[in-house]
Amino acid sequence: MATTTDWNPVLRAELAKPYFAELRAFVDDERRQHAVYPPAEEVFAALHLTPYEEVKVMILGQDPYHGPGQAHGLCFSVRPGVEVPPSLANIHAEMESDLGLPRPDHGCLDAWARQGVLLLNATLTVRARQAASHQKHGWETFTDAVIQAVDAKPEPVVFLLWGSSARKKKALIDTSRHTVIESPHPSPLSAHRGFFGSRPFSRANAALEAAGREPVDWRIPPLAERDA
């Protein structure tokens, strides 16, 4: 497990700490005994696709999807051709309501990641079909360090915190410099309690523009454009 791009110097000290060696050993052992998602080469996909210098929005998830073929290293995202999970379908619905954009015909959010939207889960691996199975083994310490590194950026960043787990991370963010937009989680269990109607995408862009930064084009290109 290794990061790449300009995150290396930012996280080098974290990667050298004893807990991270223990975490690597734990995940390696899990992979020897069980199916683990996402594949090893995609564990750090969020950091690969969104360089540190380019981060302007951060969306924090909790666990990777634990079904076969779903997780690919970006929170809430699935590869094209994979059935869109319920939480992501609700994100699409809110995007349509908020911005008037058509609902995409797939669930891959890499177009956001390539624009500076860091799509990070708090835990970066999971055992197949066992939600939360890799929590409290060190990933949260590592991803808290990522959040703190983003918080340390001199440019204003927008943090989208959906659900109680993500909202607890607000304590790591300097809200005098950055914008935090929080709401209930987009899952079917809680979306109707305040995620729907929260308009996170337009509010994020308004905050970016107010800070003199380029807004995000939240439109997700359809499969026909991706394949062209």
Catalytic sites, residue numbers? 63
Phi, psi torsion values for 125, nearest 5 degrees: -140, 165
What ranges in 100-190 are assigned the alpha helix state H? Answer: 110-113, 139-151, 164-167
Q: Which residues of 114-132 are buried (b: 16+ CB within 10 A; e: fewer)?
A: ebbbbbbbbbbbbbeeeee
Distances in Å between the Cα of 226 and the Cα atoms of 45, 106, 145 are: 19, 11, 33
Please report where in the chains the tokens 């981060």 appear, as a residue: 55
